Every structure is written in C-alpha cells, then in structure tokens.
C-alpha cells in the first residue's frame, strides 16, 4: 500500500520509498516541526511475530540507543501502532558505500577516510559491549557531507549474549565478509570477528573486488579458513602489513583496533581536532586519596561532566519506549535507573564506596561511564555492571545501571541487596521501583512519607 503523502503520528510527513526488504520498507520523511529530513523504517509487526524476529527488533532498538556516535546512523524515535513499528532514523543522503565500490576501486585517500571512520565507529561500539557482526559496504551509508554512517544493527550482539566460555556462538553475517571462526561454529570473540570484516571492507575499498571470492561457496570458505588472499602489487607495504594482520585466520593473532590505529598507513591524513565539547573526550577521573578513599579537594575532583540527555533521550529511557509489551508479557528487566539531585562527583564517590563494600573493583571507561566488576568468577564468568551517569540539568542526574557480563541472578542480588540500599541516601527515585521486601508479620511496616517535589528537594 502506498503511504506517500500521509502524516505519521502528527510528526512526520512520509515521502518516496527509499528501499524495502522482506519485513520492512524505508521511506523518506520530513519532521513537520523542524523540517529535517529523516528515514522512516516501517516494520510489519504481523510478519515479525510470525517468523520469530521479535527479539531481533528489540535488540536492534536497545543497541541503537547505546551507540550514539558521529559515524553511526542515529535513531531519533520509535513509534508503534497495532500493526506497524516505525523507526525515525537519520537520513543518509549519499546512499550505500556499496554503490561507490561497485563502480571500481576508490582513490587511496578516500578509502582511508572511510576506513578511519569505520574503525572509529566499531571501536565505539566495542567500548559499549556491542558487536555488529554484519559489517559490509551495503550496511555503510554516506551522509550529505560524504561521512560514513554504520547502519543495520539487526544482527548485532551485546556482551551479555556471550556463553559461559566468554564467546559468541550464533553463526550470522554475510559469507564473503564473515570471519573463519564464525564459519567453524566453535565460538568466537565479537570484536575479533568485526575486525576481520573491517579488513575485508578495506580490501574492497582499495581494489573494487573481494579478497576471498569463488563461485563455489565451499571453496570460498576454504580460502577464508586459510586466509588465502593476494594483495595487488600497487599496495604500499604498510597497508599490506595491516591487511595481513586483520585477515589473520587465527583470531588469537589478529590485530586489535588499538594497534590498527597505530599503523602508519591508517594515521596518514589524521589530525588532532578539538571536540565541540571538550568534556566529551576527557577521561573520567576518579579522585582517590593516598589510602584509596575518595579525595575531597577541588584539585582531586577533576570529574568530567557526564553526557547530556535531550528530550528524546529521556523519553527513550522511559518504560514507554520499551516495546516488549507490544509483543509479550513483560519480564524482569536487566537494567535499572535512578535519578538524583546530587552532583556527578558525589554519585561517583558513592559508587566507589559501595563497590569497595561489595568487594568489586570499579574502573572508568569514558565520560560518565563506570564499570563495576566482581573479583571472583561467578556462574557465567566475571559479573560486570555498567553504571552510566547522564546530566538532565546542571543539578539533576540520571544513572543507568545494567549487567554487561555474568549471571543475571547474581546481578539482581548485587542490585537489590547492595546498590539499592547503599545508594538510598542520594536517590530521588528508582525506575523500575524497588521490589517489595519479604513481609515479616511480626514487625509492623512504618508508613512511607510522601516524596517531596523536585523544587523542594534541592540537595546541595
């Protein structure tokens, strides 16, 4: 059915069809309030339910909420009716990178720029525990300024998807770009598999054809398994070395992203650029005194300002954004959020204090993101919990707490028996609300005082 010219949710005017797949169509749209061009992905809910892709859709939404980066296609909004789900996405006017390379190899500086942007985006995903698993030129889009945008996170995995052996086991991806360990179905590291795919993409950008190609699929898999490819004679030594390390069939010896960024060929043309907001790239400093306790002096409290949330971010983090109820009965959530009128420095200090009591180590990852890890291995590996601080206003913060690795029951015990009670003196409200304690009839339950309004509860 043609829906061009119709208005979606009184917010977006739908235009021409940009593309379509088995379960979704993508239309050009225009935000009626701002005039901004967007891409509206329309998903048929009945088809998704029928083939069992519900979890894939929910995972794609949750992952796109996590990965906000200049070189990753941005999700603006999710809407739903009884029959359809709508994604309002950033519009990539330049189309697919595949369209460019299908016409032949790219000039080396152009290929390098796209590759640098790809590596930066993938590095950011991995820092958030997200593995794309289907990187290929068809999933790399270009905006109006010819900047690369990674898209299509439908096959992505989160760190919590790892099995007890710490590896991923779902075989997925596009054959020509997939790593040999994924084909062998013996378990694989998501980051190593993504690096292999990036290596194949780099080769394609520089040559216009695939490194592993054969009309016989099994023969192509044999070449992939052995890392059997040849570099053209015009390749520079630095790029030859880089590709040989990225396309090493043994993932244990495959190059890391940190080492890729040190390669001389990769570094050409890069320049140190001052970010729009210096706080975005500063490391989060956890002030510690000589005895390990949190410092109190102004010099020691060099705490980076946490990320700021806009209106859509706040809505997106609310229960109404969770599409679970559209498909099934709600289950226990693996993340919890609380709001506080305390400063980011006080919240960090409190989390340090609780981590010490729980015998967990705490480390910084980036501005506003902390990681708490158990000292000993649990039922499903080392329990790891991310605590990310977001600035709602100068004096009001939200903190999202979620499991990034380990056993869910162990996480819930730490959350409900350690973090919730330990943070109660700085928390304004939790979402979801704290589960009710086990009733003890012999002791009367005291009445709960009413919560003060935010205007009355301005904590120092």
Q: What does the angle CA 219 – CA 223 – CA 226 come to, to the nearest 5 degrees?
A: 135
Q: How far apart are CA 140 and CA 96, in angstroms?
A: 6
Distance (Å) of CA 193 to CA 117, 133, 169, 412: 18, 7, 12, 31
Q: How far apart are CA 212 and CA 204, in angstroms?
A: 10
Residue 70 region by backbone torsions, left for phi larger than 0, else alpha for psi between -120 and 50, else beta:
alpha
Task: Please name the residue that has the structure tokens 């998501």.
Answer: 190
Q: In whole angstroms, what is the distance from residue 318 CA to residue 139 CA? A: 29
Q: Tell me whether residue 192 is annotated as binding.
A: no
Residues noted as catalytic: 134
Task: Give the CA distances from residue 59 to residues 39, 64, 65, 195, in Å, rounded to whole numbers and listed in that order.
Answer: 20, 8, 10, 21
Where do the H-state alpha helices sit in 174-262? 180-183, 190-207, 217-226, 237-246, 257-260
DSSP 307-355: PBP-HHHHHHTSGGG-THHHHS-----SEEEEEESS-HHHHHHHHHHHH
The DSSP code for 288 is B
Interacting residues of 93 by C-beta distance below 8 A, sequence separation 6+: 37, 142, 143, 144
- Cα 347 from Cα 358, distance rounded (Å): 16
* Dihedral class, residue 292 (left if φ above 0, else alpha if ψ from -120 to 50, else beta): left
Taking the CA atoms of residue 188, residue 193, residue 195 and residue 200 in that order, the dihedral angle to the nearest 10 degrees is 150
Query: For residue 360, which of 306, 424, 426, 418 has the smallest C-alpha distance?
Result: 418
> Locate tokens 């590896």: which residue?
167
Give the residue numbers of the binding site. 41
Residues in binding site for ATP: 41
């Amino acid at each position: 059915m043609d829906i061009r010219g119709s208005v979606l949710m009184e917010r977006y005017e739908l235009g021409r069809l940009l593309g379509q797949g088995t379960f979704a169509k993508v239309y050009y749209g225009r935000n009626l309030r701002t005039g901004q061009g967007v891409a509206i992905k329309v998903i048929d809910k009945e088809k998704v339910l029928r083939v069992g892709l519900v979890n894939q859709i929910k995972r794609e939404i949750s992952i796109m909420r996590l990965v906000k980066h200049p070189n990753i296609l941005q999700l603006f909004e999710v809407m739903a009716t009884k029959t359809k789900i709508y994604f309002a996405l950033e519009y990539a006017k330049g189309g697919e990178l595949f369209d460019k390379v299908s016409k032949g190899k790219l000039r080396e500086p152009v290929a390098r720029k796209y590759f640098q942007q790809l590596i930066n985006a993938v590095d950011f995903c991995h820092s958030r525990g997200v593995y794309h698993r289907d990187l290929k030129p068809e999933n790399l889009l270009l905006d109006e300024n010819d900047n690369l945008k990674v898209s299509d996170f439908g096959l992505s995995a989160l760190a919590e998807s790892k099995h007890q052996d710490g590896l991923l086991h779902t075989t997925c991806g596009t054959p020509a770009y997939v790593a040999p360990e994924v084909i062998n179905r013996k378990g694989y590291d998501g980051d190593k598999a993504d690096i292999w795919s990036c290596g194949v993409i780099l080769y394609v950008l520089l040559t216009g054809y695939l490194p592993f190609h054969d009309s016989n699929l099994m023969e192509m898999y044999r070449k992939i398994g052995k890392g059997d490819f040849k570099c053209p004679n015009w390749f520079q030594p630095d790029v030859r070395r880089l590709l040989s390390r990225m396309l090493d069939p043994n993932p244990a010896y495959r190059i890391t992203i940190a080492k890729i960024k040190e390669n001389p060929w990769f570094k050409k043309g890069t320049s140190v650029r001052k970010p729009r907001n210096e706080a975005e790239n500063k490391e989060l400093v956890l002030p510690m005194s000589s005895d390990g306790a949190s410092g109190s002096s102004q010099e020691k409290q060099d705490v980076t300002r946490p990320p700021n949330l806009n209106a859509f971010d706040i809505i997106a983090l609310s229960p109404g954004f969770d599409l679970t109820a559209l498909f099934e009965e709600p289950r226990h959530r693996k993340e919890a959020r609380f709001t506080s009128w305390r400063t980011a420095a006080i919240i960090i200090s409190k989390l340090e204090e609780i981590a010490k009591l729980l015998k967990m180590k705490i480390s910084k990852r980036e501005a506003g993101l902390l990681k708490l890890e158990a000292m000993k291995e649990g039922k499903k590996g080392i329990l790891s919990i991310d605590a990310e601080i977001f600035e709602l206003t100068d004096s009001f913060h939200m903190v999202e707490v979620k499991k990034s690795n380990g056993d869910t029951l162990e996480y819930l015990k730490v959350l409900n028996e350690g973090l919730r009670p330990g943070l109660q003196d700085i928390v304004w409200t939790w979402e979801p609300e704290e589960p009710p304690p086990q009733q003890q009839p012999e002791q009367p339950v005291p009445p709960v005082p009413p919560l003060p309004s935010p205007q009355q509860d301005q904590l120092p």
